[in-house]
Amino acid sequence: MSTTLPAVRPITLTEIQEARKRIAPTIVRTPLVRLESGPGFPDVRLKLENLQPINAYKLRGAANAVALLPESERKRGVWTISAGNAGQGVAYAARQAGVPCTVVVIETAPASKIERMRALGAKLIPVPHEVAWKALEDRSFPGVEGAFVHPFDDDNFIAGHATMGLEILEDAPETVAVIASIGGGGLIAGVGSAIKALRPEIKVWGAEPETAAPFALSFAEQGPREFKEWKTSFVDGAGGRSVFPRMWDRMKPVVDGAIVVTLEETRKAMRLMAEKTRIISEGAGALPLAAALTGRAGNGPIVCIVSGGNLDLKKFCELIAL
């Protein structure tokens, strides 16, 4: 790491409110809809971030982070590391700013995400997952130039995501729990920051797949841990190999716990959303609903963040048919 990073600090309510104004022309104020799942199920509301222009929440953080880069840095171009959604967000914001964008992309990313990044003008450098994860730690990659926009460990990125928390509380003040999937941790750190600043009694839960659940392990052992049994799956937008120590420090004060769900539970949640609300969700977007349906977050009202819907339609049909 070539530079000393600023110390981890809380994301303030003022920052979040300013980010909301800044990104308003770029993002969609997404709806919150009730999932009509019938008696015996928790009262669930879906925050439909899959309806953003890039079909994923990452546009909130990317738009804020790119806008706040000094002009001298931004004009050199920007780059990020991504499994697809952060890359789309940064590429979208870079195109609006009229600057080039490079994405070091995990080579197993769905074709739909790769195609969208290219369509937004991004230069792509495919790498294996372990190489991308190492680059995230190092904040560097050989031969790539421009201003680096970290896809989760960045105050401005997190503040952008936090704007979602303001919308949730305005649309559903009766909420008792919020569930968000955890990949790098930027989404839940942001939403948790907004929720806890305004309504600290509301529980904030993370959701992870059984194949990649480092936060649940870290929470159980009260410190950042590596998930040694990590496996790739269709849930490509959540579940990392480890919890970065800085992200542990960010998440711990604003997250109440973690719920681990099976891949089968995730598939069923994808199917349920398609049947009941005609929503197409990628695996990571369905994790919070799968977690809510376990009952571990209570009877609700529970807000489940549908973080994205970027999934090849053929793959989506195969998954929900199982």
pLDDT in tens, 92-133: 999 988 999 999 998 888 888 889 999 999 999 999 988 988
Regions of the chain where pLDDT drops below 50: 1-2
pLDDT of residue 316: 85
pLDDT of residue 172: 97
Domain extent listing, the chain: 13-57+155-321, 59-148
- CATH among 3.40.50.620, 3.40.50.1100, 3.50.50.60, 3.30.450.20 for 59-148: 3.40.50.1100
pLDDT of residue 322: 66
pLDDT in tens, 61-72: 999 999 999 888
Q: How many CA atoms are closer than 13 Å to the CA of 243, on its beta-carbon side?
A: 29
What span, in angstroms and rounded, lies between the C-alpha atoms of 167 and 165? 5
Q: What is the mean pLDDT of the chain?
A: 92
What span, in angstroms and rounded, lies between the C-alpha atoms of 247 and 96? 29
pLDDT of residue 136: 85
What is the pTM for the complete model shown?
0.92
Domains 13-57+155-321 and 59-148 in one fold: yes
Joined tokens for residue 129: 């997952």
pLDDT of residue 3: 63
pLDDT of residue 75: 84
What span, in angstroms and rounded, lies between the C-alpha atoms of 154 and 271? 34
* Class in CATH terms, 13-57+155-321: alpha beta
The answer to whether the CB of 218 falls within 8 A of the CB of 243 is yes
